[in-house]
Structure 1
Amino acid sequence: MPTLFLIIGYSLILLIMSPVTNMIKTSVGLFVMAEEPQFDFDDIKLEDVKFTKATDKTELKSSEIKYPHPGELYGKIAVPDVGVDVPLFFGDTLEILRYGAGQYMSSKFPGEIGTTIVGDHNGNQFGKLNNAEIGMLVNLSTTYGEYQFRIISKDIKNKDDAMVTSLLFQKKEPLLLLYTCYPIDSIGRTDDRIFVQCEYVSGPLINENE
């Protein structure tokens, strides 16, 4: 009889704890995924994105902006002088970079104070950044505003260079950092990158406190 009650007791405990256990497994899975998240790009078309036309507005309230979800196409980047014209996605997984340039999700959005970091494969449009020169303009269109930046430096550095970390955490001004693997004709991942740093020229700044 005691054995029977013991079995029943353990069964009740397992039944009660089952939802909690499953929740923990699901939560852990979010942080230790063996694969990158997958997105559905089959129906994505740049012409379907509604870009906001340039206006005289100098400020946008953060609360009024519809920020993109991970994997969402929300803009395009053009460097006319070297022929770069590429869709911009929020996120920079390998799958995203098959379709266009990707914003590092821990970086700032265009218009915010801080650095927007965007990468693309060297075999795609960003390979043309090898021909970019200081002073060239970069046009960045989004669903909430039109922006323009000016190239102020182009460097070849290790992907883990301290400059990248410094730019990621700076909170003084809106900057744009474009990058791609180097050498340009390399196949696969490399340790070096071309980093093109750009200063803000125009476009509505985002008030993150409103």
Structure 2
Amino acid sequence: YKGKSSAQELTTDEIKRFEKIESNQHTTETTMNSQVPSSQMQYKEGEKVAVLNIPKIAKKFSVYWGANDTTLKKGVGMFVSDSTTTPSESGGHTVLSGHRDTVFTNLGELKEMDNLIVEDDNKIYTYEIHKMWITNADDRTVIVKKEKPTLTLTTCYPFDFIGDAPDR
């Protein structure tokens, strides 16, 4: 996989800058009627569209449009559907996916209250982790429309599993 190549170390200055950003600094309340589904956006599959910063593990990741196998080999993919949005498109539900054995290797170190920061469309969106859970690969209740700005990270689990992991 080339996925690890899209992960970069955050510099000390970048970490300090992100620590100063308050949660929800650039998010606004929205209604589901004002959301533009990601499926209506005009990006090309595999095109770099954002950057995901995770200060807790001092990493930043390029985010690419789509979440197919080819895109996930490049790095983090932004899931595209009628139920998801980009952070800059009126809030809603943004879903980022990555392989647990490449870009999301260190996600197990994150805890509730840690911040995830997305740079999208020249704006910064800060999300605080409120819930972490394990589900099966067939669970269709995770990627659904949301009324408020929400970021969901998805990866396979367990992190140390060899082969195709059974859970998400």
TM-score when scaled to structure 2?
0.69
Pick from 123, 127, 132 the counterpart of residue 154 of structure 1: 132
- Contact 1:73/1:88 (<8 A) preserved: yes
- Tell me what 1:29 maps to: none
Residue 108 in structure 1 maps to residue 85 in structure 2? yes
More helix by share: 1
Report the RMSD for the aligned CA atoms in angstroms: 2.9
- Mark the runs of 5 or more structure 2 residues left unpaired by the alignment: 1-5, 9-20, 29-33
Report SS of the residue matched to 2:106.
helix
Query: Which runs of at least 4 in structure 1 moved beyond 3 Å after TM superposition?
Result: 56-59
Report SS of the residue matched to 2:133.
strand
- Contact 2:95/2:151 (<8 A) preserved: yes
Q: Give the C-alpha shift of residue 82 in structure 1.
A: 2.0
Aligned-pair identity in percent equals 25
CA distance in structure 1 between the aligned counterparts of 2:106 and 2:96, rounded to whole angstroms:
14
Shift of the 139–183 alpha-carbon distance from structure 1 to 2, 3 Å rule, reads same
Q: Give the C-alpha shift of residue 122 in structure 1.
A: 0.6
Q: Give the C-alpha shift of residue 70 in structure 1.
A: 2.2
Pair member with larger Rg: 1
Q: Give the C-alpha shift of residue 90 in structure 1.
A: 0.8
- Tell me what 1:163 maps to: 141
More strand by share: 1
Higher RCO (CA-CA < 8 Å; seq separation 6+):
2
Aligned length: 135
- Tell me what 2:156 maps to: 181
- Mark the runs of 5 or more structure 1 residues left unpaired by the alignment: 1-43, 47-53, 194-210
- Contact 1:115/1:176 (<8 A) preserved: yes
Q: Give the C-alpha shift of residue 181 in structure 1.
A: 0.7
CA distances 1:67-102 after superposition (whole Å, capped 9, x unpaired): 533221011111111233211001011111122100
Q: Give the C-alpha shift of residue 158 in structure 1.
A: 0.8
Residue 132 in structure 1 maps to residue 110 in structure 2? yes
